[in-house]
Amino acid sequence: MKIFQVLFTGFLLILTTSCGKDNAKPDKDKEFELFIDFWNTQGTNPQIRFDAQNSSPEIKIDFSKTFAGVAVPPKYTNVIIDNVRLIDENNINYHINQIDAYEWRTDINDWKIDVEFVMQFDQVQDLAVILVLDASASLGDDFTNVKAFAYDFITKVFEVIPSAKIGIVDFSDEINSFGLTDNSTALSSYMQSIKQGPFTTLYEAMNLGIQMLHNTEAESKALLTFTDGTDNNSDPQYTPAFLLEQLNGGSGNLPISSFTIGLDGNGGVDKPVLDVLAVNGGASAFPGNINELESVFNDFSQGISTVYQLTYVRNQQVIPDTNPARLRFVLKASPKRS
């Protein structure tokens, strides 16, 4: 009798486990909404403006910018939106799987799904990244871990985009740099050679990283800045306002997606400044200790390497700017985790 009970119990356990596996369903995509006003005053000069108030905050775009498009003979127009990322409040990055387009129709007083005018999406492969790394003495022995986390960031970006180019700017009282390359071995050797020093020349180092990105023709450009303190050694001309202007393109350059990390430790980081300088699809993070820092570098490696170009395709119908079309796009996406 006992043998039968054991066999029967085992059968039930196997059956339950098997049914659980068979019935297990993958997590559903999370949905994010992007609202846009569209007009085309001449039929060949399409423009869009974002509705930041109603769009999902996880969609990282420069919402203050108006994007102008071009005519695509013989019948279409395209508006390209570059440097788009999906990053939630926990710095988890999302991979876009599908975008559904809707247009507001006054005749039905509702949104109507659109199958003719669509939002296409392509993951960018032409990526340039500069790491700006604090090497000040205030990091102490933690600097060894910082270098390890930064190099792990590099390897993870290359895993997603092998053709990416990555460079390094390190700073303390002096600023040093290593140019953009896809040679991970060379980057590792340079990373190991970085020495600590006094002071924090943060703003000048960020400016050097920005200029290095301005000098490349990459389709997408990102700056990742790490510090554990506040700037105390840069020339007066290098201010947060100056850097912000440069990140936004300066004199005819493409905008740069800026990510900032402030280790809230020995130096005491300037959180408002780092928040302001996280722009153009970027994000900021303030880990409380060295263990949390590793996770932030990992999350940002996914966010920086998963960047999209969106293209809205429509016909050449004239739409006045005084009465623009109201568009809604539902981005269905799944989280990227290590």
Q: Which pLDDT score is estimated for 337?
A: 67
Closest Cα partner for 242 from 293, 283, 277, 191?
277
Segments of the chain scoring below 70 in pLDDT: 1-27, 265-267, 337-338
β pairing state of 76-86 and 93-105: unpaired
Which tens digit of pLDDT belongs to each residue from 275-298?
A: 999 998 899 999 999 999 999 999
- In the chain, the domains with their CATH numbers are 30-123+308-336 (no CATH), 127-305 (3.40.50.410)
Q: Which pLDDT score is estimated for 84?
A: 92
Q: Which pLDDT score is estimated for 296?
A: 95
Cα–Cα distances (Å) from 223 to 29, 119, 262, in that order, read 29, 27, 14
The residue to which tokens 């559903």 are assigned? 28
Q: Which pLDDT score is estimated for 236?
A: 97
Which tens digit of pLDDT belongs to each residue from 111-154?
A: 999 999 999 999 999 999 999 999 999 999 999 999 999 999 99
- Contacts of 153-156 with CB under 8 Å at 24 or more apart are 153/224, 153/297, 153/298, 153/300, 153/301, 154/184, 154/187, 154/188, 154/191, 155/184, 156/298, 156/301, 156/302, 156/305, 156/338
